[in-house]
Structure 1
Amino acid sequence: MGSSPTSGSSVIKCKAAVLWELEKPFSIEEVEVAPPKAHEVRIKMVASGICRSDEHIVNGTLVAPLPLILGHEAAGIVESIGEGVTTVKPGDKVIPLFTPQCGKCNVCKHPQGNFCLKNDLSTLRGSMQDGTTRFTCRGKPIHHFIGTSTFSQYTVVDEIAVAKIDPASPLEKVCLIGCGFSTGYGSAINVAKVTPGSTCAVFGLGGVGLSVIMGCKAAGAARIIGVDINKDKYAKAKELGATECISPQDYKEPIQDVLTEMSGGGVDFSFEVIGRLDTMVAALSCCQESYGVSVIVGVPPKSQNLSMNPMLLLTGRTWKGAIFGGFKTKDSVPKLVADFMAKKFPLDPLITHILNFFFMVGMGQERRKVEE
């Protein structure tokens, strides 16, 4: 995993997956990771999930400065801390937070706000809070990704973007709390505020969609309808709480009309967990017009706007969205890990593969070279 000085005052040389160009494979490189400055934390990464948002950067759906190190759904161990850091210490198990919590801005002070103004997601600057980077490769500075950059054996994050978690927690599982699980689960619990006995529709049954289903079930929903064209996903969705699953390809009429008829006038809550404009409108349309709530969870395509009839809202529906399931990150992540440890929800069903990331990416590149 590279050298690991105890003082935290030295540069660490280690491996990282660097994205030099769009739509090109990651390149496994030796990078230099600078020591943490004041109010910064250097972390030895132990486990990192691969999230669709990382892919959005690779294919240009989201625009970020290159070259950069991706990854944002992870867990690790603090290697060293900069001057003034008080919330973590070397040896602590932690989860990096792609949405920080400074505790001082208007959003952090608001009881419902969680999209801290110190976030790097709105602008994708690709740097630490002070505007500089801690990564160097081949003599060039490498950009950070939303303050985390977890596709590296070591990374540096700001103190406002890291949460200390239970020292007994399995990092290869709780890393999912760093993005996918919390985003889906919180969208049901915090954002939609799903009510007991209600009917819900979940568009998209990937890892985040499954987490939405878990949140709907935990909130007491009586009926949870999964919507996906991939029927291979239905069994796991039902295992986690979906009462039925349907495919839009099995019907001649629009899926919103199907759901409206199935639910006797419209569902109470719907969730779009795909990132497509047509399904966002469909999810809104299938809600009960007088009081239905629809939540956008999926990341939409870049530079595209959707058109919708305002009457869908004027008659009483509510359209919402949130980052990270509406959770205040630094406050909530340790509690979510504690809930997982207390067996209040499972994470194993969300994990399909456990792989050596660097070996996997490297082998993929070798195959491409051979094929070329």
Structure 2
Amino acid sequence: MKMTAAVMYEQGLPAPYEKSEPFRIEEVDLEGPGPGEVLVEVRAAGLCHSDLSQVKGLRKRQLPVVGGHEAAGIVREVGAGVSGLSEGDHVVMTVVAGCGTCVRCRSGRPALCEAVTLPRTKGLLANGQRRLSRNGQPIYHYSGVSGFAEYAVTMPASLVRIDPSIPLDVAALFGCAVVTGAGAVLNTAQVQSGASVVVVGLGGVGLNSIMAARIAGASIIIGIDTRPDKFAIARELGATHTLDGNDGDLAAQVKDLTGGGADFVFDITGAGPVMTYAPEMLHPGGQVICVGLGASDTRHDYNHAALVSQERAIRGSFMGSCVPDRDIPHYMDLFSAGKMPVDRLKSQAIGFDRLNLSLDLLNGGDVIRQVLLPHGRL
């Protein structure tokens, strides 16, 4: 079938992206679904800092590629052998999809499934197939999703069926922003009632961490960002305090507010300077949870002697240690109950014509979550 999609042919093009146009809006060919695959009509796709990282070339991808990894849509066709999904089902599309049989998957950690990671690094679906092309030339899949398109062929493990009453432009955010931010707090760190929490970076992922910390019962929730205009929504969503990341000794300010240091610091940014001071914000025995990703070869400095002598810990959280079939329905229940107002994170809806400009807005920190509507409407 023919469809419109946003295709990236080159990484590392300079900003402003409205001029360099890293995404070209083109008509491409989509085959399938083949056996074990699903065709989804993409109704909404979120723009994430991970998309921006790919545009900047911080982590290399097989090119050309149809972008987008956080999306929601409607199942239009299922391939032979697919069970549990039917035409007309509303689904969230997510990167977190394992093979279901390896040691990591069987231990409840599908985000770490190596069987799925290898084909995806080659721009293929988890089964090793490619369904995208243009004029007979191959186009590759982005993280098994490729949501910046009118339609997508993907694997069932990348899809979670949802209540059709949930608006699809909200549902899309659950595929990455929600599972990553909330999961870091509830799954990776397992924050307990009464804990003190610091969240550095108040974009879509960071604000989900703020909401999750409130749900977990954290007594002190400190949001840090270099953009004070984000502080109002951070406080609305659960932050008890906010600090300007441009200020002086942030570690001293956190220790003041927490009576000696926080239990958890969540670094959503992946920025080198943050990891220099984040461990210093902890009390003895506290943990830094690293959520944001920088370049694939990034190295960070920290005070190793203090880490050892005060038994602090630094650990990673990839996609919120998510188990999609378990976590996404749970988070949606929290949304429906008014406890996780994810809809408050939407900055604007856009069409393909504004996609590159929207990368500039994201790069400048002027928005929280923009949502692409590939068909121009829900």
The TM-score, its normalising length taken from structure 1, stands at 0.89
After superposition, the C-alpha distances for 1:137-172 in whole angstroms (9 at most, x for unaligned) are: 132110101100000101111122211111222111
Q: Quote the residue 2:142 is aligned against.
A: 145
CA RMSD of aligned residues (A): 2.0
Identity %: 35
Asked if the contact 1:100–1:330 (Cα under 8 Å) also holds between the matched residues in 2, the reply is no
Asked if the contact 1:161–1:330 (Cα under 8 Å) also holds between the matched residues in 2, the reply is no
Q: Which of 279, 298, 306 is the matching residue for 2:300?
A: 306
Asked if the contact 2:199–2:206 (Cα under 8 Å) also holds between the matched residues in 1, the reply is yes
Q: Quote the residue 2:100 is aligned against.
A: 103
Instruction: State the distance in 2 between where 1:303 and 1:324 align.
Output: 19
The TM-score, its normalising length taken from structure 2, stands at 0.88
After superposition, the C-alpha distances for 1:51-107 in whole angstroms (9 at most, x for unaligned) are: 110111111011101100110111000111111000211111111121203321111
Partner amino acid, structure 2, of 1:31: V
Q: Which of 307, 311, 326 is the matching residue for 1:331?
A: 326
Trace 1:75-94 onto structure 2 (pairs within 5 A).
Answer: 75-94=72-91
Q: Quote the residue 1:347 is aligned against.
A: 342
Deviation of the 1:302 alpha carbon: 2.7
Asked if the contact 1:119–1:146 (Cα under 8 Å) also holds between the matched residues in 2, the reply is no
Who wins on radius of gyration, i.e. which is larger?
1
Secondary structure of 2:169 counterpart? helix
Asked if the contact 2:45–2:172 (Cα under 8 Å) also holds between the matched residues in 1, the reply is yes
Asked if the contact 2:95–2:143 (Cα under 8 Å) also holds between the matched residues in 1, the reply is yes
Instruction: State the distance in 2 between where 1:183 and 1:40 align.
Output: 25
Asked if the contact 2:38–2:78 (Cα under 8 Å) also holds between the matched residues in 1, the reply is yes
Q: Quote the residue 2:281 is aligned against.
A: 286
Q: Quote the residue 2:224 is aligned against.
A: 227
Q: Quote the residue 1:71 is aligned against.
A: 68
Task: After superposing the two structures, state which structure 1 stretch, 296-305 or 104-113, moved more.
Answer: 104-113
Instruction: State the distance in 1 between where 2:109 and 2:307 align.
Output: 22
Secondary structure of 2:270 counterpart? coil
After superposition, the C-alpha distances for 1:117-155 in whole angstroms (9 at most, x for unaligned) are: 333389622111232310111321101011000001011
After superposition, the C-alpha distances for 1:177-206 in whole angstroms (9 at most, x for unaligned) are: 000012111111111111212211111111
More contact order relative to length (CA 8 Å, sep ≥ 6): 2
Q: Which of 115, 119, 125 is the matching residue for 1:118?
A: 115
Instruction: State the distance in 1 between where 2:353 and 2:282 align.
Output: 46
Secondary structure of 1:143 counterpart? strand
Q: Does 1:20 align with 2:12?
A: no
Runs of at least 5 residues in structure 2 that lack an aligned partner in the other structure? 14-19, 360-378
Q: Quote the residue 1:296 is aligned against.
A: 290
Q: Quote the residue 2:209 is aligned against.
A: 212
Larger strand share, 1 or 2: 2
Instruction: State the distance in 2 between where 1:242 and 1:257 align.
Output: 18
Partner amino acid, structure 1, of 2:113: C
After superposition, the C-alpha distances for 1:306-341 in whole angstroms (9 at most, x for unaligned) are: 233322332211222122211212332233223323
Secondary structure of 2:75 counterpart? strand
Q: Quote the residue 2:355 is aligned against.
A: 361
Asked if the contact 2:67–2:148 (Cα under 8 Å) also holds between the matched residues in 1, the reply is yes
Secondary structure of 1:274 counterpart? coil
Q: Does 1:62 align with 2:51?
A: no
